[in-house]
Amino acid sequence: MSIDLPHLKSWIGREEVRVETLSSVPSNALAATLDREEDFYKEGDALPPLWHWLHFLPMAPMREVGPDGHPKRGGFLPPVPLERRMWAGSRLAFHKPLRIGEKIEKRSRILSVDHKSGRSGDLVFVCVEHVYSSGGSEAIHEEHDIVYRAAPAPGTPQPKGEPAPTDGQFTRAITPDPVLLFRYSALTFNSHRIHYDHPYVTEVEGYPGLIVHGPLIATLLLDNLRRAHPARAVKHFSFRALSPIFHIDPFTCCGDLDASGEATLWARKADGTLAMQASATLG
């Protein structure tokens, strides 16, 4: 497949602005989904870190949805012609909390578009900057990495992942069943069929099961840190997806925190594979 990189790079600098008054409904729904039964959110309460991903959702009409459930290529994001798209990672700085009931502006900008060729074929990397502001000042700064790749040939085995650390100061076991994946898809208005359509993901995409959302795993990692250290504020967070987790894969959220407030977080699959690596700074 030909990659017209100059055409894709013409998207660099493209901006999109969304404004939303934050409702309490998504936060209360996610609290129930994460079994945080003690949490009930109302106007004026601060959103926990990463829960802003429940807001400013693109809502493509059905006529603009592709066969995989994603919106068709083009628009704000460049029309990369590779079949598979993955949220590869993010880097976030939390300057002040977003609060329920506030009117928040999200300004997004395409920072870079890069092409690489490797043993697995063509890869296109798109980095998007998101700036969330309230009251005229920046609250959250995020850089979001998206990777596009061609679908592998039928029968291609899944690449073997690297081993995860076996210890951790705080851990939480997660069973990623289809109900959890459906709820998170609904909360984020994510209609990508790999997360809920078992015949599609196994017969068309060739995966062994439903794929657990990368941002859901990141949210669970940070939630595990917050459960262990509830009084500490998250100042920075970054994560990188390394190996997919399927709904048939129980996994464990693990973490360590040192005396300076630097946390190392990771998701370990039942076979010992490292699925996601993350870090956080606590205030």
- Mark which of 116, 151, 186 sits at the end of a domain: 151
Q: Which residue has the higher pLDDT, 66 or 173?
A: 173
Residue 119 — pLDDT band, cuts 50, 70, 90? Answer: confident
> Is the model's pLDDT at 155 over the cut of 70?
no
Residues 93 and 124 in one domain: yes
Residue with structure tokens 């802003």?
52
> Is the model's pLDDT at 154 over the cut of 70?
no
Three-state helix/strand/coil letters over 156-194: CCCCCCCECCCCCCEEEEECCCHHHHHHHHHHCCCCCHH
What is the tens place of the pLDDT at every residue in 176-202? 999 999 999 999 999 999 999 999 999
- Mark which of 107, 123, 151 sits at the end of a domain: 151
**Domain count of the fold of the chain:** 2
> Is the model's pLDDT at 135 over the cut of 80?
yes
Residue 1 — pLDDT band, cuts 50, 70, 90? Answer: low
Angle at 215 between CA 211 and CA 221, to 5 degrees: 105
What does the pLDDT read at residue 160? 78
Residues 120 and 171 in one domain: no
Residues 147 and 196 in one domain: no
Residues 97 and 62 in one domain: yes
- Report helix, strand or coil for 86: strand
Give the pLDDT mean for 239-266.
97
> Sign of the C-alpha dihedral, residues 112, 117, 118, 122?
positive
**What ranges make up the beta strands (E) of 119-163?**
121-134, 137-149
pTM, to two decimals: 0.95
Residues 228 and 139 in one domain: no
- Mark which of 102, 119, 151 sits at the end of a domain: 151
What is the tens place of the pLDDT at every residue in 33-89? 999 988 899 999 999 999 999 999 989 999 999 899 988 888 899 999 998 899 999
Residues 173 and 43 in one domain: no
> Is the model's pLDDT at 11 over the cut of 90?
yes
Q: Are 139 and 95 in contact (CB under 8 A)?
A: yes
Nearest to 94 by CA among 155, 138, 34, 143: 138
Whole-number CA gyration radius for the chain: 19
* Percentage of the chain exceeding pLDDT 70: 99
- Mean pLDDT over each residue of the chain, to the nearest integer: 94
What does the pLDDT read at residue 130? 98
Residues 168 and 270 in one domain: yes
